Amino acid sequence: MSAPQHIAQAASHITPLRETWRLLMQAARSRAPQLRASLIGLCVAAAVQGLALACLMPLFQALIPNPEWSAAFPWLLTMMGLMLATAVIRWWAQGFDYRGDMVRNTHELRSELGEQLRRIPLEMLQDKRAGGVNATLLGNVDETLSYTLTVANMMATALVTPIAVALAALWFDWRLGLLLLLVFPLLIPLYRWRRPAYGRGMRMLVEANERASADILEYTQGLPVLRAACCVGERAERLQASVKHLEVIQTIGEKKGAKPNLILATVMELAILSVVFVGTLFVVQGTLDVAILAALLVIVVRFGEPLATFVLYAKIIDLIESALGKINAMLRIKPLQQQVPIQTPQSYEVRFEDVGFSYARAGEATLSELNAQLPVHSLTALVGPSGSGKTTVTRLLMRHADPQTGRITIGGVDVRAIAPEQLNALISVVFQDVYLFDDTILANIRMARPDASNEEVERAARAAHCHDFISRLPAGYATRVGDIGGRLSGGERQRISIARAILKNAPIVILDEPTAALDTESEVAVQAAIDALVRDRTVIVIAHRLSTIAAADQILVIDGGRMVESGQHAELLASNGRYACMWQAQQSAKNWHAGMARCPDEEAFVS
């Protein structure tokens, strides 16, 4: 998610400052007292700075129009003292940043978010979009928090300093003091009040940006196709229209978004001018010392700068507010509930009992009334069209989410009563897409069992038929995956992941189409590796090529979230149902060959 989007979202509802403060303290955890002291310190520093500036008033009185050094000197000293105090207090308060407290705090927050990510139902992360969002959350959001002090300092100078000056001015001339008190501090509430308009402008921009972004991606992705279809020009025109549209929206958005800033700037200029005019009026009337007016002018013309900077950085306040909200939302997600007492399964028979499940996002049930029994050391195959719910079955077993009805047991123990680490240790998975970490091959395999010796890793690699090709790599087992990234073929990567699973030595193995994306040569090696992995295990396999699972102890045919058939290959063929249909379609496709293209009669098989 891009930054403007954060801004737009944050701007849509403005959190009251008090709520922001509360969340901030919550995020600071053990350092909350220090942070609070630090923030208060910044305010105090700003107030003292205001008082230092206010010293200009008596100082000017002492020197204008008739200079008297003896009267001026004490005020000079006071002013310098206050300025020194400002520097010292601010120095101390900023220590929260400079001493590294803030860095350590965001660090802890990040670690905690990482831990949380490990505990929340995986279902929440499986959605690709959400995955991306969470990555940005972890990566950037807490970084945003590190601006807290900078922004707080700016807010204090923009807000507290004018108030302190105004209060001091009350003592010299209550009318001007009151005027100052009314105009300058009011600017910030005014700005916050007008900010939704800014958000609206931002939102338009975000939408136009997203559209242009999608069009650009489509263009770059589709270029080969466009070139092949000889219509690059036409599409390029469409893209240009979209880019041009973005410019128009940017221009409009700029006008809209700039409005609050414009109002603020106008009011600020008016405020300064009003002080000038009202002050002059009093002086002309003879009710105000001209020295006071002169001093106030010197002070007031400096108020503009911090306020203007404040407006520029107000975006960061939005970011901090939304960051705090998101961190909180993330930490509030409840981990899957652990049933007590915690039990440890003694055998590894898997049972699905009346399992029903629907994803939080989807309306209808993904799985309903699934009943199955997977005996120890049996081979169970899940087959069915894509989207039928096969993968969900395996995910529920791994507890990426919990079923809404029914239960899943391992060795008679409900998976919800097994400790998460224990459950993880019971199941090995080989996915179609292999994820290798940017680390050495050794580390990638050893990940399965951190205490495994080098010999054990090598033994697993041999069993998975990957020792030979690993030995041929420039640095053998110490080769970093990232360094040779593209040079590992799909089959080699898959064998590494199988070695990982072999080393893990879990009693239950899930195979999720491990050979689907491989070429023939790799396939033979991977098949051999799988044979080594599944020996003496309870195996669940998802397969599209039915011939590979024809020997399974039981085949569960799943369609539309229901088990429509189950049994062994021969039984299912004989019953002439869904499975038999799929089998026939596949056999005929298998027998297809290029020569057939020339004899149209042979197409009859597809009808």
Partner 1 sequence: MRKVDRVDTPGVWSIMRPVQGQIRFAMVLAGLATAATLGTLCALAWAVHELLQQPGQWPLPPLLLAVVLTVLAYVLRLAGFKQSHYAAFRLETRLRTDLAEHLARLPLGYLHQTGSGALAKVMMDDVKALHIFVADSTPLYARAYVAPVLTFALLWVLDWRLALTTAVVLAVGIGLASLAMRTNADMTQRYHLASENVSKAVVEYVQAMPVVRTFDTGTSTFRRYQDALNAFVDVTLHWYRIAGLSSRLAQILVSPLPVLVWLGAWLVSRDAMTATTWLTVLLVGTGLAESLLPLMSLKHLVAKTQMSIHRIHEVLAEPDLPIPNMAQARVPGDASVRFEHVDFRYSEDGTLVLQDISFEVPQGSVTALVGPSGAGKTTVARLIPRFWDVSAGSIQVGGVDVREMLPEILMQQVAFVFQDTFLFADTIANNIRLGLTGATMDQVVDAARAAQVHDFIMTLPLGYDTPVGERGVFLSGGQRQRITIARAILQDRPILVLDEATAFADPENEAALVAALSHLMRGKTVLMVAHRLSTIRDADQILVFDKGTLQEQGRHEQLVAQNGVYARLWRNYEQAQDWALAGGRA
Residues in 310-339 that interact with partner 1 by CB under 8 A: none
Q: Does 424 bind partner 1 (CB under 8 A)?
A: yes
Residue 13 tokens, joined: 């509802």
The region of 30-38, 184-192, 315-323, 435-443 touching partner 1 under the rule CB under 8 A is 435-443
3-state secondary structure at position 120: coil
CB of 185: closest distance to partner 1 in angstroms? 20
Q: Which is nearer to partner 1, 353 or 602 (CB)?
A: 602
Classify residue 174 as exposed, middle or buried by CB count within 10 Å of its CB (0-12, 13-18, 19+): exposed
Q: Which is nearer to partner 1, 15 or 153 (CB)?
A: 153
The region of 11-19, 90-98, 173-181, 469-477 touching partner 1 under the rule CB under 8 A is 90-98
CB of 393: closest distance to partner 1 in angstroms? 15
Q: Report 109-168 residues binding partner 1 (CB under 8 A).
A: 110-111, 114-115, 117-118, 122, 125-126, 131, 134-135, 138-139
Taking a C-beta distance cutoff of 8 angstroms, is the pair 211, 242 a contact?
Answer: yes
Separation of alpha carbons 354 and 377, rounded Å: 23
Q: Report 232-261 residues binding partner 1 (CB under 8 A).
A: 232-234, 236, 239-240, 243-244, 246-247, 250-251, 254, 258
Please provide residue 186's backbone torsions phi and psi, each rounded to the nearest 5 degrees: -70, -20
463: left (phi over 0), alpha (psi -120 to 50) or beta: alpha
From first CA to last CA, the distance across the chain in angstroms is: 47
CA distances from 78 to 56, 81, 391 (A): 10, 5, 76
Q: Does 468 bind partner 1 (CB under 8 A)?
A: no
Separation of alpha carbons 1 and 139, rounded Å: 11
The rounded radius of gyration (Å) of the Cα atoms in the chain is 35
The region of 7-15, 23-31, 349-357, 487-495 touching partner 1 under the rule CB under 8 A is 487-495
Q: Which residues contact 580 (CB under 8 A, 6 or more apart)?
A: 572, 573, 574
Q: Report 503-542 residues binding partner 1 (CB under 8 A).
A: 504, 511, 516-524, 527, 530-531, 534-539, 541
CB of 433: closest distance to partner 1 in angstroms? 10
Q: Does 342 bind partner 1 (CB under 8 A)?
A: no
Taking a C-beta distance cutoff of 8 angstroms, is the pair 151, 315 a contact?
Answer: no
CA distances from 519 to 206, 510, 525, 549, 582 (A): 43, 22, 11, 19, 23
CB of 424: closest distance to partner 1 in angstroms? 5
Q: Does 571 bind partner 1 (CB under 8 A)?
A: no
CB of 19: closest distance to partner 1 in angstroms? 27
CB of 22: closest distance to partner 1 in angstroms? 26
The region of 30-38, 171-179, 272-280, 468-476 touching partner 1 under the rule CB under 8 A is 272-280
Bridge partners of 519, per DSSP, are: none
The region of 190-198, 231-239, 334-342, 456-464 touching partner 1 under the rule CB under 8 A is 231-239
Q: Report 275-294 residues binding partner 1 (CB under 8 A).
A: 276-277, 280, 283-284, 286, 290, 293-294
Q: Report 211-230 residues binding partner 1 (CB under 8 A).
A: 212-214, 216-230
Bridge partners of 557, per DSSP, are: 383, 565
Q: Does 92 bind partner 1 (CB under 8 A)?
A: no
